[in-house]
Amino acid sequence: MDLVWKTRASVLALLFLGTLLPAQQWEKITIDFQDVLLKQDKPSYKAYALLKDRVDIRALEAGFRARQLPVDERARIVVQTLMDKATSTQPGFLEQLRSIKGISAGSLQPYWITNMVFFEGSRAAVYAVSELPEVASVGYDAPVEWIETESAPAPAPPSPNGTEPGLEAIGAPALWAMGYTGYGTRALIVDTGTEPDHPALTNQFLYHLQSQNSSFVGEDVIDCDGHGTHVAGTILGLDRLTNDTIGVAYEAKWMSGIALSGSCDNNTSTSGITGMFQWALNPDGNPATTDDIPDVINNSWRSGSTFCDADGVFETYDALYAAGIAVVFSAGNDGPSPETITPPKFNNWDLVRLFSVGNLNANNPSLTISSGSSRGPSICGGTGSLLIKPEVSAPGSTVRSAYVGGEYSFLSGTSMAAPHVSGAILLLKEAFPYLTGEDLMLALYFSATDLGPEGEDNDYGMGIINLPAAYQYLIDEGHIPELPRSFDHNARILRINTPEYNCGNTISLEAVISYAGPDTLQELVLEYQVGDGPVQTYEWGGLLPPGELQTLELPAINMPEGTYETVMGIVSANGQVDERPEDNFMKTTVTVLEEDVSPAMLIGDSVCTGGHALLQVLTDGNADITWHSSPTSNATLGSGSPFLLEDLTASGTIYAETSPIRKVGRPDNSGTNTQFSNQSRGLRFNAFYPFTLRSVKVYAEETGGRLLQLVKPDGAVTTRIVNVTEAGEQRIDLNLSVTPGEGYILRLNAGKPLMLNSGGFQGYPMTLPGVVSITSSTMGGSAYFYFYDWEISYQERCGRSMVEIPVSADSTGSAPAISSSVDTVDLAVSGAVNFSVLTDGYTNWNWYFGDGTTASGASVTHTYDTTGVYTVGLTATSTEGCTNAATRRIVVINSTPPVSTSVVDETPELLLFPNPAKEQINLQLKGGAFRDVQITLTDVLGRPLQQTIQDIAPSETITLPLSPYPAGTYLIIVEMAGKRSVHRIVKAK
C-alpha cells in the first residue's frame, strides 16, 4: 500500500515540479516533502538539509561490537565523532544558506547528532538548497504531536504501601526482591514535561545530582498538561513518605523536558525532537562525561510525516543506539484496524528499531489487548518479524499514576504501556550495566510471554514483557549480573522543608530523613549550603530504626533578601560512607525576604474568664485585617483592628492576616505630552505574588462607558465595563484578582477616550518589590496609557501573625459597658465625642479611638476630624488583675453640602433605611406617584457614582447597591419637578 502511494506521489510531484527542477535535483527532495510542496502553497516552509558528508554511524557501531568496547566509551566516541564532523563541515554550509534569498537567517538550526541543518524558507529557497552539491537530501520538518490517551484523566486516590497491578503483571516485584530497584539509572521522558515536586517523583529528579540545564529541557521545570507526569510515575514513581509504589524502577532518576520547543505552545516539529535527542547525548555540554546521559528514552509522540526510512532523520536513532541508549515508543491509539502503528515507530530496519509497545489490560486476568491499541503490520514493508508491529505489549489500560498538582489519576493508552517497558529496561540496566539499551530491549523482546495468536502477531507483538524471564534470558546468554549495591548505612534525605517565604532575612530548614540499613541509625553527619554561602555541618545523634522517619530542625541561617538554591547531602551514617550515595542528596529553592509579618497583639494582660479580648495589628499604612483560628484556615472570626473576641473561657491562640493596601504606577498625569485617546492600548506588567487590583485613577474628557480588559499571560481575558458619569479626574473600582505571571496587560479596549502621557521618559519599571512591576506601555517605554495611581492589596507574604490569649482561671467579670455622647458625629457641627465607662469594678481604663490615637481614664473626650466608621476599643483591668474589653462603633459624617450643591426643602418626604447601611440602601418617597425622578449616588465631593431615572409608584421602594464602594460617607441626590434634595448616608464596614 505504501509503495503504491509513494509511486503515485512521485509521479504527481514530477509532473508539478519537473519544469522547475532538473530531475537529478528534484530527486533530492524527500517524498513527504514533495507532497507538501505539491499540496500546500505557503510563503515559507520548514525543512532540513541533510549533508552528504556524514558519519557512518552503523559502521561505527559495528566497530564497537567487534572490539567489545565498554558502553561508556562508546558514548564518548559517538558524541565526539559526530561533533567533530559537524565542526568540520557545517560553518561553510551555513554561510551558503545565509546567502540564499528567501531563507530566514534566524531559523537556521544546525545539529551534530546527524549532520543536518533545519531552516525555514520560501519554495524557491528550498529548490536552491536542493541544488547545493553538499546536500544529500532536503526533507520536511514535519509537525509533531502528542499521542492522546484513550480516556480523560479520572481522579485516583493515593495508595499507601500499595503496588499497582501493572507492576505485578510484568514481574517487577521479583527483581525488587533481588535488590534491583533501578538505582543508578536514568530515564529521559520526551513528553509534556514533568512536575518536579510531585511527592512520587521529587526524590527521583536528576536535578538533585546535576544542574537543572543538564536535567530538564526548558526554561521552567513544569508539566504542560499532566501527561508527562503520569508517564514518569509509571517508570519510577514512589512516594517515600507513604511507600505508595506506582513505578517500575522507583530508585532510578528522571530527566525530562517540554519537547514542544521548550514551551507549552504545542508547536513543535521534527527539529524540536531532534534537538532533545541531541541534548540527551550530551546534557552537560562535556563530551568526555557519560554519567549524565539517559539509559532509556521514553516517547509518547507521533510525527506528521508518513515517510519511511528517511536516512538523515533515522540516523538520529542509530546514534542513540550506538551510544548505548534504549529508545522506547508507544505504538499509538489508532486501533483496532491493521497498519495503524503511528510514525515514526512504523519504521523497522532491525528487530527492535524502532521499539514500539502495545496496550493491554493488566486489571483483567486474561490480559486482553485494548481495542484502541495500534496494530501492525508496518506500512514500511519488510519480511518476517520486521513486518510485525508492535514489538511487545505492556499494561496500559486504567493505569494509576502521578498527575499534576501532586495528585494521582487513571489514564489509558499506549502512552501508559510504554513506560512499563522503559522502567523494566532500567531494572535490567542496574543488573547488567555493561549492556547496551538494544541488548536489554532484545532481552524483553525474546522473553515476552506470548499472548493472542500463537507466536508473534500484529496485536500483541511478542506478548507481554516478563522481567524475571528477561533477567534469566540475559544470564542464559552468558551475561553475569552485578550484585545490587548494599543498603548498609543507607540514610536518605526524603524532603527538605522550608517556608514559601523565609522572612526577616532568616532561613528555616528541616530535613526529613529515613534509614534503610539493617541496623539502627545512631549518628548522622549532614552538610548543606544556601547559595554561595558557607557549607554548614549538622551532626545528629539518636536512635532511628530501619524504615522510620526523622525530622531534623537545622540551625537558622541569616541571608540577604533573594532566592537561593539550597543543596543538602548526607556525609556519613553511623560513621560510614553510604554505597548508595544518590539517595543522599537533595536540592530546593529558598526565598528570603527582608520584611516580616505585621505584629498582632493582645491589648492588656490575661483576660478574665468569660470576658472579652481586644486585639490589634500594628501596620504601616492602610490594610485589611482578618482574624482566624488557625494559621491556614480560610474561615474568619472577624475583621478589622481593633477586634473584639468575646466570651473567652480558656486560653488560646488566634491569627491575624494582614493585607496591606499600597499604591504603584504613575501617581497622576502630570507632565507634558498628555492627550486623550480611545486606542486599544494599556500597560504591561508582571505579577510576582497574588494581589487584587482594587482601583485605578483615570482622567476622562467626557462621560460615557469604557470597556476595560485584563489580559492574562495565557491569553485569557477578564472584562470590566465602567460608566464614567462626570468628566475629569476620578478613581474607578476594578477589584481584579491577579495571580503570579509575566506578560499581563491592563488596557482600554473600547469606549470613550481617557488621558495618556506620550513622549519622553516615563520611569519604567514602576515596582512594588516582590508583588508587581509595571514594565511598559503596550507601545513601549515612551508612553503611559490611561491607568494612574494603582491601588492594590495583597496578603502579607510572611503569613499570619500569632497572638496568644491567656485567660485567667482565677478571675471572672462581666464586660465593661461603654457610653458615648453620640453615635453619629457630624463634622459640620462638632467632631467631639464624650466616652465613659458604665461598669464598676475596673481600673486602668485605656481607650483606642480607631484613628490611631489613644487616651486613659474612666471618662474621656475625643475629637474626630475625618469622616468614616470607627471602632472604639476599651480595655479595663478588674480588681482581680485580669483584663476585659469592649468596643463601640462611631460614625463620622459631614453634612456640609458641597459648594456646588443646592439643598432644597424635601418635598415630598424621603425615607432612607437602613442608615448606616452595608450592602444596599432603600429609598421610599411618601405620597403619590412621581414621574421622571432622578436619583444619584455621589461621594462627599459630589462626584457621581451611579444614577437612575424612573417613575415611582405610591410608596414604592427603590434599592441602591452599595457593595461596590468602600466604607465611608456618601450623598444621595433626588431631583424631580424642578426641585432637588441632598441626603447624607453612611456605608459601614
Active-site residue numbers?
A: 191, 227, 415
Residues 406/412/414/419 CA torsion (nearest 10 deg): 30
User: Taking the chain, what is the end-to-end CA distance rounded to the nearest angstrom?
Assistant: 77
Strands 186-191, 296-299: parallel, antiparallel or unpaired by DSSP?
parallel
Check the CA dihedral 725-727-733-734 and report its sign: positive
Alpha helix ranges (H) inside 544-669 = none
Are the beta carbons of 406 and 232 closer than 8 angstroms? no
Beta strands in 637-690 (DSSP E): 638-639, 643-648, 652-664, 674-677, 682-687
CA-to-CA separations, 339 to 335, 386, 388, 450, in angstroms, rounded: 9, 13, 10, 21
Q: What whole-number distance in Å separates Cα of residue 331 and Cα of residue 150?
A: 13
Q: What are phi and psi of 145, to 5 degrees?
A: -135, 160
Residue type, 832: A
Q: What whole-number distance in Å separates Cα of residue 130 and Cα of residue 97?
A: 11
The number of beta carbons lying within 10 Å of the beta carbon of residue 926 is: 11
What order do you get walking across the sheet with 832-837 strand by strand?
818-820, 832-837, 859-863
Q: What whole-number distance in Å separates Cα of residue 736 and Cα of residue 298?
A: 43
The residue with cell 515612551 is 782
**In sequence order, what are the residues at sequence separation of 6 or more whose Cβ sits closer than 8 angstroms to the Cβ of residue 478?**
none
The string of DSSP codes covering 128-188 is HHHT-TTEEEEEE--EEEE---SS--EEE---TT-B-HHHHHTTHHHHHHHT-S-TT-EEE
Nearest to 104 by CA among 29, 37, 46, 33: 46
**In sequence order, what are the residues at sequence separation of 6 or more whose Cβ sits closer than 8 angstroms to the Cβ of residue 1?**
339, 379
User: HSE on the CB side for 125, CA within 13 Å?
Assistant: 24
Q: What whole-number distance in Å separates Cα of residue 140 and Cα of residue 49?
A: 9
Beta strands in 583-712 (DSSP E): 585-592, 600-602, 607-609, 611-617, 623-628, 638-639, 643-648, 652-664, 674-677, 682-687, 691-700, 704-711
Nearest to 34 by CA among 137, 145, 143: 137
The number of beta carbons lying within 10 Å of the beta carbon of residue 914 is: 12
**In sequence order, what are the residues at sequence separation of 6 or more whose Cβ sits closer than 8 angstroms to the Cβ of residue 157?**
408
Q: What are phi and psi of 320, to 5 degrees?
A: -65, -45
Are the beta carbons of 463 and 451 closer than 8 angstroms? yes
Q: What are phi and psi of 15, to 5 degrees?
A: -65, -40
Q: 344: cis peptide before it, omega within 30°? A: yes
Residue type, 364: N
Residues facing 711 on adjacent strands:
717, 745
Question: Would you say how long the chain is, in residues?
Answer: 989
